[in-house]
A and B are shown apart, each in its own frame.
Chain A
């Protein structure tokens, strides 16, 4: 049995006055191993963020379910921490207090000093030393998301859920934080489930990339193994022979399944219910 089991999950949204419920995605089944980094790439509206929220327990699946370490997920919990696209830091708390809130919740028996030491460790890790007493409003987008990452890593969750974590950060800073994320993940080796639009980001960070067809009634069309050995860095990864093969393959898939193709086109309809195609370049 795998570590994190996404088992035949479907999501329907209630229809507006009359008509059938709208199917967002259907029959998503993925098995994720412990310590694996899996990324979902797809067009807007394919429900990838909804899928992430279902794993987090913030939303419920219409059909199917999530099984983490043999136990079904019934609601949000400290074993699955989310890094939000819009950071979701409490604006009335300082950087330190934002992380400390999480640490205290995860380790309720810790002393004041233990909590402070743990929080400081993660603040140093994301390079925010000196900004502990600042409030989020005084931080740049990149710094805010560093706090978000520090908060998520600090409670050492079984599964880390990254919901387009770098979408609101400028391109230059994004690269830097991506490498910081790699380093943090290298030492913690949490299981990570990430949602993104950014193909390069997906290749740099993940072990497997799940490609979703466009919604409504989206499904996982293909699963691409990122056959590039770790450790990876932005500088060296582009020299790997598989990099452009994977990149082109993913982009071709996304263009083929772009929204302009139209709903219910033959490819989607024919393949409905089929298992995702496995792609491996080695």
Chain B
């Protein structure tokens, strides 16, 4: 392993030297701005290639060499399942055992991904749904919990933000409840609602509730008094005041709270699925671990990352509609 690592390190270094050497030669004599103008994508791709190559080389394993081993030793190894005998009588590493030996390389993960994605929408059993379904379950669970939490938090936050005294009275509770990990609630919820599906959603709800509640109350409370003055001079009705002045005025702050809530809900949904055994990408990661399929675990981690990126991009798109410049 040590030699493999050193090979990986040196090859990565070599690639780096080659990669940066060329542009440096080209921009020789130019100022630093010439480098800054280059597309960041090139650096991104370069880093990815370096990482994948390093990973690949670090997890490389040579073909099985029977030389120097006695027939008994070989038989014992075959008996243990370390090696298999192929049709022409030569020995090779047992590919099934290889899966749980060390860390799988990028090619193994790619193979796993190809396999999973090819049957993304296939249901093979009660607990063996395709990755497409698992993503949908997670997104649905996350969406339901996050939306419910956002509605409750914004409504409550506006109410508290408009009542300074009440806000100050309730704030200690919020401050105590806010730092509690949403997963800490899980046993109590499981005990009370007695249903893992609802519990998973409630965990997401709890994760998303406090940040939005606290920032909404703060945003409404800190809304510039001038806007409210204009609203009261114009004798706006209660609903108009809320919809035309208070909510849009506090929107940038509320969006910030939602962004924090979004992140914390996304972080909570994966372990909730793991612990509750609810079908989803978090569940996938755990079940692949139970299957000792490390490629599957890595694949599940990557899926979680991609789901997060896609949800986050959608959220940013929405946030862009309601923010304004002072």
Contact = CB atoms under 8 A, between A and B. Distances in A.
Interface of A: 56-58, 75-78, 80-82, 84, 86, 88, 90-93, 101-102, 105-106, 135, 137, 155
A137 B325 contact: yes
B233 A81 contact: yes
B244 interface: yes
A90 B245 contact: yes
B176 to A, nearest CB: 30
Interface of B is mostly: helix
A90 B230 contact: yes
Interface in B207-248: 224, 226-227, 229-230, 232-236, 244-245, 248
Contacts of A86: 226
B249 interface: yes
B5 interface: no
B65 interface: no
B326 interface: yes
Contact of B235 (A84, A91, A105, A137): A105
Contacts of A93: 248
A82 B229 contact: yes
Interface residues of B, number: 19
B325 A88 contact: no
A101 B248 CA distance: 14
A150 to B, nearest CB: 14
Contacts of A92: 248-249, 251, 322, 324
Interface of A is mostly: loop
A223 to B, nearest CB: 27
B227 A90 contact: yes
B60 to A, nearest CB: 57
A101 B234 contact: yes
Contacts of A102: 234
B230 A88 contact: yes
Contact of B249 (A75, A90, A105, A106): A90
A102 B322 CA distance: 22
Given A82-B229, A88-B230, 20 more contacts: A57-B233, A58-B232, A75-B232, A76-B229, A77-B235, A81-B233, A82-B233, A86-B226, A90-B230, A90-B244, A90-B248, A91-B325, A91-B326, A92-B249, A92-B324, A93-B248, A102-B234, A105-B235, A106-B234, A137-B326
Contacts of B249: 90, 92
Nearest to B233: A76
B233 A78 contact: yes
A56 B233 contact: yes
A78 B234 CA distance: 5
Contacts of A76: 229, 232-233, 235
Contacts of B230: 82, 84, 88, 90
